[in-house]
Structure 1
Amino acid sequence: MSEPSGTVLAASEESIAQGSKSFAAAARLFDARTRADAVMLYAWCRHCDDVVDGQILGMGRAEMAGTPAERLDALYEETRRAYGGAPSAHPAFAAFAEVVARNDIPERYPLQLLEGFRMDVEGRRYERLDDTLTYCYHVAGVVGVMMALIMGAREEVVLDRASDLGLAFQLTNISRDVIEDAGIGRLYLPADFLAEAGIPEDRVAAPENREKVAAVTARLLDMAEPYYDQALIGIRALPLRSASAIATARAVYRAIGTKVRAAGPRAWDARASTSKAEKLRLLAGGVAAALASRVAGPAPARPTHLWTRPS
């Protein structure tokens, strides 16, 4: 297998350094080859998200030609072209083509991610928790699957656990960003959760509803816990360095959810994050969790009520 090109890798490193400090910290634990491919896949995911939203690294607004739907259609086309071996001048797609070829990532997975972006473009409504989890799979669970393939995982049960971690991450993201998302017309909280809490869907961002929204997001974060647990089981199948990186990422995101839950109605006064010192502590814990997974006993049966990725 060929080595990643220096120019493409450098552009991808810049993308992750600016776009996701949480994942960048954990990714330092990967071996060099796995890190390069993980970072390059991240850069492609970030690029596609930015193109659809008309942003740069998830922030601000950028002038882009065409409607979001037209830009998404172009991403579908360029993704298929990458699988057909067509060269691309864009660093994110050049990186993507290298990664999927080197790791034999099936085309259906990146297309499933783009389907998640389609849900945003169409303004999809999420009636029940299963609907929200379907969205979570398409924008995060499938990324977990692709990352697991980069780490050498091939067994379906291991890919399922990688999907679980993506679900947990996205449930955490939804809870952290619910007010900001509502401000741009995006709502991922299940409609039945909101109805039970007495929150009108068009008033989620209203200050008078903060306590109720905090209760709903606490409920959603509780729903994330079994998926975080399943992910911890899954790391035992990964190489030690990869297991350490994933256990660290799990700990960092879970800590963000813990902060959102603890802050209650003040959770959205500032965006919840972890400090450098906290990341170092969580990194040490991630390495310890990876080492412990080497000697763990048989995994308990997966709870039957948990959402399962499409086959």
Structure 2
Amino acid sequence: MSGAQIDGEIIALSRELNRRYGKTYYLASALLSSRTRPYVFALYGFCRFVDDIVDVEQGSVAERLDRIDSIRDRLLAGLAQGDSDDPIVAATIMTIRSFGIPIEYFERFFSSMRQDLVVNRYQSIDDLLVYMDGSAAVIGEMMLPLLGVSDQAARKPARALGNAFQLTNFLRDVGEDLERDRIYLPMQDVERFGAFEALRTRRVTDSFCDLMAFEIARNRRWYADSLTGDSYLHGRALRCVRTARRLYSAILDEIERVGYDVFSNRATVGSAKRGKLFLQGIITP
């Protein structure tokens, strides 16, 4: 890793993006060393910045696609030049160069961000996983060098954890996503459990509960698949990842606790439970 340091103002901005939009990740990142955290903030801040073009910014689909492509072009040009006038891009360039993150990872990320603007239904879990490759699994791969892992065998569990985190988001945010006319639950599963009407009317029915129970079971299998990745981690990095997994998987418990009502409730882990899980992350060897 190079000795270059990311500008303090950019770190503050990226940290705020982490704190505001990724409270679980932000809490877990506190377990990382002060040397590593700025780069994690920079990477998350960049991904959040691009994702907001999809979910938050106004404008036509064509305008937002152009905006995503413009950021991609600035990143590639900045990598060739070694810097950028855009501070968020500059911090990302420094992170990429400091840790040797393959630019191919970012190409996959941008591909999924573009896809999110033109695709709002996924027929099968395999179709969904194609999207998640660039929106979730690849983030796990990006994080490995920041966590001090170079063994290629660690990529599979890292991808599983990235997918597990995102599926948790999808299950928690079913109601919010419907407001954007998006459904991230595989349509084959929705059909299998007869839950179309429940989604249309935003009602918790027996069929919807069965669908959610099925997806949560899949989600927990992905968390279990990620556990083998812990053997590649040590010290603060291991504590960070374990804590993030515990905190995020606890959202599934909350979804079950509210009877799968993700239409009128946003399942969140209470501060007392978050504090307990965070403390476990500190004291667990």
TM-score if structure 1 supplies the norm length? Answer: 0.84
* Aligned residue in 1 for 2:272: 277
Q: 1:211 to 1:243 in 2, by over 3 A?
A: same
| 80, 84, 102: which one aligns with 1:84 | 80
Unmatched segments (≥5 aa) in structure 1: 56-60, 292-311
C-alpha displacement of 1:124: 4.9
Asked if 1:152 corresponds to 2:148, the answer is yes
Checking the alignment, whether the CA contact within 8 Å between 1:214 and 1:261 is kept in structure 2 is no
Cα deviation code 1:221-243 (max 9, x no counterpart)? 11111221122221221121011
C-alpha displacement of 1:158: 0.8
C-alpha displacement of 1:52: 2.9
CA separation in 2, counterparts of 1:225 and 1:274? 17
Cα deviation code 1:93-122 (max 9, x no counterpart)? 121111111110000101111111122111
Partner of 1:271, secondary structure, is coil
User: Aligned residues: percent identity?
Assistant: 28
* Aligned residue in 2 for 1:21: 23
CA RMSD of aligned residues (A): 2.1
* Aligned residue in 1 for 2:34: 32
* Aligned residue in 2 for 1:238: 233
Checking the alignment, whether the CA contact within 8 Å between 1:153 and 1:159 is kept in structure 2 is no
Checking the alignment, whether the CA contact within 8 Å between 1:256 and 1:273 is kept in structure 2 is yes
CA separation in 1, counterparts of 2:89 and 2:279? 34
Shifted more, 126-135 versus 160-169: the winner is 126-135
Cα deviation code 1:9-29 (max 9, x no counterpart)? 122112112121111100000
TM-score if structure 2 supplies the norm length? Answer: 0.91
Counting only pairs closer than 5 Å after superposition, residues 113-128 of structure 1 correspond to structure 2 as 113-128=109-124
Checking the alignment, whether the CA contact within 8 Å between 1:210 and 1:265 is kept in structure 2 is no
Residue correspondences, number: 283
Regions of 4+ moved over 4 Å: 61-66
Paired amino acid for 2:250: A
C-alpha displacement of 1:133: 2.2
Checking the alignment, whether the CA contact within 8 Å between 1:199 and 1:209 is kept in structure 2 is no
Partner of 2:48, secondary structure, is helix
Unmatched segments (≥5 aa) in structure 2: none
CA separation in 2, counterparts of 1:178 and 1:218? 14
CA separation in 1, counterparts of 2:40 and 2:32? 9
Q: 1:32 to 1:178 in 2, by over 3 A?
A: same
Checking the alignment, whether the CA contact within 8 Å between 1:261 and 1:267 is kept in structure 2 is no
Checking the alignment, whether the CA contact within 8 Å between 2:61 and 2:117 is kept in structure 1 is no
